[in-house]
Amino acid sequence: MSRPLSGRDWTWRRRYTLFTVLTTAALISWGGFVTSIEAGMAFPDWPTSLGSYNLINPVDRWWAVTPYLAEHGHRLIAAFVGFLTIGLAGWTWWSDPRTWMRRLGFAALGLVLLQGLLGGLRVVWISVDLAMVHACTAQLFFATLVAMWFFTTDTWRNRRGLFSASPEAARFRTVATAATALIYLQIVLGAFLRQHGRGIDEGAAALHVTGAFAATGLVLAVFVLAQKHFDDNTVIRRASWVLLGTVGVQFALGLSAFIVMLYEAPQGLRSTLQVLLTVGHLVGGSVLLGASVVTTLLARQPTMEAFSTAADAVPSDGAPTSREPALARPRTPASS
């Protein structure tokens, strides 16, 4: 587990982790589709499907019945994500020299197992509340995978984008962390709206809209701080641009979905447009959370001064330290 890793080792594990992230995003979008068409109880049993243990074909031509396609398709993709996560946890444990990273791999595995259990119990107990918890846990799992991917990138391993100790760096760290926390809170509120009252509960909707403006404001603050105070830090500036673009798209999707929902709800309609916008808004929330997590991780790295002190403790023979054995000495922002 502590053998030296080549660039090829890091590259292939990074690609595998990214594939797991993208597959999980597909799973989240499919789950949003299930909720949007109210197909969560199409198969009212678990772990069987209408009494069948046949994972591939529980019912003849199940793919031709939209509720069956939605719910069983969700179960199939979830099983695939579970196997991918088992592989990721095992690969990380075997090859990553960082103890905390190996633990994070097992944390991801624990989350995906918990997620599968929550999904099954939601069916068995016919619980809308568990469906909401299931949706929120999915986003935590997604954020964990994004972090695992980021920890295998050259940007993180080579400590690009480090700050010098300053009041501006401390302020940026605080605002970025607050933005991530508020974005996740927005996801929780969104899950409540989807699972209870088809998104039109007045009190929760008002709180969600208010939170959207607050989250957007925090993201704008992150962007302004990055562009104003860190001219020589290319990594942070790029991350802030990605975060700003993502929150803009997410805000537009949420506003569009809400307008269409308000128009169609009194008529008892649920058009394809409404489903697409709702699912798009759900996936946009995942992407926004992931972008914010990456920005926050960059912001919460040790300062250049602190990391240089730690790097000086590396033995003269170049042996790795126990805390970050895979990392090189930090590059200055100008060299990133």
Is 215 in contact with 187 (CB distance < 8 Å)?
no
Beta bridge partners of residue 49, listed in sequence order: 52
Exposure b/e, 231-249, CB count within 10 A at least 16 = b:
eebebbbbbbebbbebbee
Of 90, 95, 107, residue with least CA distance to 11 = 95
**Residue corresponding to tokens 């939209």:** 66
The rounded distance, in Å, linking the Cα atoms of 111 and 123 is 19
Predicted confidence (pLDDT) per residue in 240-295, tens digit: 999 999 999 999 999 999 899 888 877 777 889 999 999 999 999 999 999 999 99
What is the reported pLDDT for 265? 74
pLDDT digits (tens, 9 = 90+) for 140-167: 999 999 999 999 999 999 888 777 778 8
Which residues, at least 6 apart from 260, have a Cβ–Cβ distance to it below 8 Å?
A: 271, 273, 274, 277
Q: Are 270 and 264 in contact (CB under 8 A)?
A: yes
Distance between CA atoms of 277 and 237, rounded to whole angstroms?
30
Q: Output the CA torsion sign for 30, 192, 136, 128.
A: negative
Token pair, residue 232, equals 């020589």
Q: What's phi and psi for 92, nearest 5 deg?
A: -65, -45
Shortest CA distance to 32 belongs to which of 140, 139, 167?
Answer: 139
**Tokens 């914010």 belong to residue:** 292
State pLDDT tens for residues 181-234.
999 999 999 998 887 755 556 787 888 999 999 999 999 999 999 999 998 889
Cβ atoms of 226 and 172 closer than 8 Å: yes
Could you read off the pLDDT of 54-89 as tens digits, one per residue? Answer: 989 999 999 999 999 999 999 999 999 999 999 999
Are the C-beta atoms of residues 211 and 185 closer than 8 Å to each other? Answer: yes
Sequence ranges of the domains in the chain:
1-156, 159-310
pLDDT given at position 99: 95
Instruction: Report phi then psi at 52, rounded to 5.
Output: -105, 140
| Angle (nearest 5°) at CA 200 between 256 and 124 | 110
pLDDT, position 173: 95
Is the separation of the CB atoms in 85 and 113 below 8 Å? no
Give the model's pLDDT for residue 305: 63
Distance CA 85, CA 157 (A): 22
**Residue in the structure block whose two tokens are 């939605």:** 70
More confident residue, 328 or 172: 172
The model carries a pTM of 0.90
Closest C-alpha to 98, from 17, 12, 5 = 5
Rounded Cα distance, 64 and 28, in Å: 22
